[in-house]
Structure formats: structure tokens, C-alpha cells
Amino acid sequence: MNGLLLRNLRLFFSSKTRVFFSLLGALISFVLYLIFLRKMMIQTWNSFNGTVKLLDLWLMGGTLAVTAIITTGSALSMMVEDRENSRLADLILTDQSYTKIHLAYLFSAWLIGLIMQIAMYIVMQSYFMLADGLELDGTIILPVFLIMVFSSLIWSIFNMVLLSFVKNVNTVGHINTILGTASGFFAGVYIPIGNLPNFAKDLMKITPVPYNAALFRKVMVNDQLTKVFNGVPQKMVANFKQKMGLIISGNSTNDMKILLLSLIILSVLGIILYRSNKNMVVSKI
């Protein structure tokens, strides 16, 4: 399985075009914030000192969630390519079992998602350090890394479930384009969840995306949030958290429970689809 894992990683990173377009959705979210959204958000919260750095961290949290969604989907496009070109059937004729081949796709997508999240974090942190003087908080590095690991896992499984129904690699491109656009909305990057009508909020809440973004944001903005809202009534702090999507379902514990439940549901669906896909591939040999 190690050989298959290395093969998938090599195929992904050897294509500069694939790497670039896997990050395009996250980069668009980042650029849109800088050009259009940032000024509007700063004006909304300009009565507090340190708002710029707080919103920078808020944007970083949402963009990391978007990165995990898109890059794992792009990584798993190789699975669809192999299936369409019958390479998957050829691989089964070697000494590798279908289970190992399947897990190699999943683990490679997980690793790629993790690596690309780290890369995107470095890009955003570096920019905001230069542009806004945002300091690197060493205390959040480990928690953020662990969330990256979890995010990459849940979205790798999600995309594997989604792409189990896809047989044409051109369709994958369309799906990834839709995911890239939709994930920025569902993560509350384009518009904070508190600014949306109730039906849009309810739509967002039935997906794991806003909860994943909230997990990142809560860790990343915690210290800066304390500085900005020092001495401010807790009701106002709670309003900011709800409006900006730091908390989605009432409290952080519930948010985490929903994410874990989503992971379990997706894993069960993945196992069910794995069996049907295995039978379909094996029947072609």
C-alpha cells in the first residue's frame, strides 16, 4: 500500500496545474476578503481596537476549512481517473487488494489536504504579518494542526463518498468548481452567518462546513478576541461569536458533537459504497 500511496502523492504534486487549481477556491476566498469584504467588516466593528487582526484570524479559520474541502476533492480525482481508464481494475490484478488500493486513495487525499492546509496557513499568516503586523501565536500551532488533521480526514471521507457516484473525470472538474464556490459560502467566508436570513442559516447548519470553520476560528481568534473585547459586556462578546460564526449550535461542545456525528455518518456511507464499488470494479476483471 505504501507504493500506491507514494504513487498518488507523486501524481498529484508533479502536476503544478492540479496543485494550483486545488487551491484556487481558497485563494479566491482570501482575495475576495482583501478586496471587497474586509473594509465592510472593519466598518461594522470599528468601535473596538484590534479589529483588523481579529478579522484576519477569522478569515484564516474559514479559509482553512475551505482548503480542506477542495484539496481533498482534487486529490481524489485521481481515483476517478483510474476508474475511468480501467487502471483500477489493472491494479487489482497485481498483488494489491482492493481494500489497500481504496485506503491508499483515502490516505493520500488526507495527506494532501493536510499539506495544502499547512501551505495555505503559511501564505495567509505571512501576508497578514507583513500587511497588518499580525504576530504568530505559538500557543495555537498545535491545536490548529490537530484541527487540520481532523478536517482533512472528514473531508477526504466526504469527497470519497461523493465521488463514488462519479465515473467521468470531466464531471469531477465541475463538482470541484461547485464545491469551491459553495464551500466559501457555507464556511461563512463570503458573508458571515449572522448576516444571512434564517432559511440560509438553516441550510448551512445541515452541513459540517460551518462547524468545521467555527472550530478553526474559535482556536485562532481566542487570544485576540479577549484583547479586543476586554471589559466589554459578555452579551456583546456572545453576539460577535454568533454573528461571525465562531459558535453555530449554541456552544462549542455541540459544534464538536455535530462534527463527530458527521464523521460517523460519512464513514458508514463510505463503507456501504465501498462494497458496491468493489463489486462493480471486480466484475470487470
Which tens digit of pLDDT belongs to each residue from 38-73? 888 877 777 677 788 999 999 999 999 999 999 999
Q: Which CA distances in Å does 135 have to 60, 91, 141?
A: 13, 48, 12
Residue 112 to residue 18: CA distance in whole angstroms: 12
pLDDT band at 284 (very low <50, low <70, confident <90, very high): low
pLDDT band at 108 (very low <50, low <70, confident <90, very high): very high
pLDDT score recorded for residue 39:
80
Q: Among 162, 158, 187, 172, which residue's Cα sits nearest to residue 60?
A: 187
Query: At 190, is the secondary structure helix, strand, or coil?
Result: coil
Confirm if 17 and 188 have CB atoms less than 8 A apart: no
The one-letter amino acid code at 157 reads I
Confirm if 42 and 201 have CB atoms less than 8 A apart: no
Residue 210 to residue 185: CA distance in whole angstroms: 9
Give the predicted TM-score (pTM) of the model. Answer: 0.91
* pLDDT(201) > 60: yes
Residue 249: DSSP 8-state? S
pLDDT band at 114 (very low <50, low <70, confident <90, very high): very high
Residue 149 to residue 143: CA distance in whole angstroms: 10
pLDDT score recorded for residue 65:
95
- Of how many residues is the chain composed? 285
Q: Among 63, 163, 82, 72, which residue's Cα sits nearest to residue 110?
A: 72
Query: At 231, is the secondary structure helix, strand, or coil?
Result: coil
Residue 179 to residue 131: CA distance in whole angstroms: 29
Q: What is the pLDDT of residues 153-177, one digit of tens each?
A: 999 999 999 988 887 878 888 888 8
Q: Looking at residues 19-37, what average pLDDT do you find? A: 87
Burial class of residue 105, CB neighbours in 10 A (0-12, 13-18, 19+) = buried
- Estimate to the nearest angstrom the gap between the alpha carbon of 161 and the chain centroid: 16
pLDDT score recorded for residue 21:
84
Measured over all CA atoms, what is the biggest interatomic distance in the chain, rounded to whole angstroms? 69
Instruction: Report, in angstroms and rounded to the nearest whole number, the Rg of the chain calculated over CA atoms.
Output: 20
- Estimate to the nearest angstrom the gap between the alpha carbon of 39 and the chain centroid: 25
